[in-house]
Structure 1
Amino acid sequence: MTENTSRTDVAALYDATVYEMDGDKIGRVGTVYLDDATGQPSWVTVKTGLFGTSETFVPLDRASISGTDIRVPYSKSQVKDAPRMETDAELTPQEEERLYEYYGLAGTSGTYETTGTTTGVVDRDRDGIRDRDEVGVRGAGHDTSGPNTDDAMTRSEERIHAGVVRREAGRARLRKHIVSEQVSETVPVTREEVVVEREPITEANAGKAMSGGDLTEEEHEVILHEEEAVVRKETVPVERVRLGTQEFTEQQTVTDEVRKEVIDVDTDSEVRSGRRGDDRRDRI
């Protein structure tokens, strides 16, 4: 909550709506309670229930106010279950202590202790409104969104771990089938042809030449031969074929989306942040 809230800002709170930090609506503001010492808004009542007929108190210590939006670190169910007080009268010291104890903000008998290690002293006016002149040592905070554990919050994030998994990528088979092709080969072939040879009559062949009749008809036959090209086929083994595997290594990049938790530090006053000036938000 900002430190210097003007009267105009206080009037605007009557038109404000209270939300959870994640944006879920809790209810509209009914009544605004001011601190007598500083004049700053200290409490508001929130209209809850059917048609807003029920009002419960919510502290503004850790509230974030922007225009007519008030965001508080409490759930709607937590606000609805707060101790019931009269909303048309001032808060008594005992009532305020009960509320602070319920929200984990204060102790009793003029001293208070927040859930965690924060301690301090509280002065009160006679009307029971809590002053802001707290003195003491503020230590670790506490968990306002769930069960209290320790004084720290754990931040987690997702990380990717790349590896390999072996899987079947495909199959290869050897399949043998028959194809036909034309093959030509040249071989020499020999044939016999008729050749007419004439020789004159001489003393050497005169006897054979004159052994027959004077004039006769005669036929003489000669057998001719030739070679013919033929084909003979035989099947012979030519090679052996088998399937094997060979490994190749390549670089491959994998990409995935990871989530991480981000912790925001909201400082809404000089007392809590140790700094002067406007509201400030740091990110861890």
Structure 2
Amino acid sequence: MFEIEDIREWRGQSVVDAGKRRIGTLEAIYFDTATDEPSFATVTVGLPTQRKLVFVPLRGCTVGPEYLKVIYDKKQVRDAPAIGTDGELLAADEPQVFAHYELPYAAGASGERRLARR
């Protein structure tokens, strides 16, 4: 994992899968509101006229020269729940993102969202 202080510097870098196949471009980082740790990233994918943002967990990710490598396969990431490039993930849609990657999901103690964009 990379240092939290460096996250903003990685925006616009390539995101690759474990085989170093390019998935797309890093757009934003989402934090778990319970731990304040980076949890998910959004990756811009698609053709120039049909771009969308897909979500990918940051667990197990590593950085290389000018790329962020995730542990998930390119196809799995590209098939993940998506939003428009100017969209927002609705709280009701968060469980679908976690389910896509077979990760446990729990709302915060007060019902607040677990992911917050930074």
The TM-score with structure 1 as length reference comes to 0.35
* Separation of aligned partners in 2, 1:5 and 1:50: 30
Paired residue for 1:100?
98
In the TM superposition, what is the alpha-carbon distance from 1:104 to its structure 2 partner? Answer: 1.5
* Separation of aligned partners in 2, 1:50 and 1:69: 20
Q: Which has the higher helix share?
A: 2
Matches within 5 A, 1:263-282: none
* Separation of aligned partners in 2, 1:50 and 1:38: 35
CA deviations on 1:143-188 (whole Å, 9 max, x unpaired) are xxxxxxxxxxxxxxxxxxxxxxxxxxxxxxxxxxxxxxxxxxxxxx
Give the counterpart of 2:56 among 33, 47, 58.
Answer: 58
Paired residue for 1:89?
88
Paired residue for 2:4?
5
- Give the aligned CA root-mean-square deviation in angstroms: 2.8
Structure 2 gaps, min length 5: none
Matched, 1:22 2:19: yes
Matches within 5 A, 1:183-198: none
Paired residue for 1:141?
none
Q: 1:90 to 1:123 in 2, by over 3 A?
A: same
Q: Which has the higher strand share?
A: 2
- Larger relative contact order (Cα-Cα within 8 Å, sequence gap ≥ 6): 2
Q: How many residues align?
A: 114
* Separation of aligned partners in 2, 1:124 and 1:18: 32
* AA in 2 matched with 1:80: R
Q: Is the 8 A contact 1:60 1:72 kept in 2?
A: yes
SS at match of 2:41: strand
* Separation of aligned partners in 2, 1:79 and 1:95: 16
SS at match of 1:105: coil
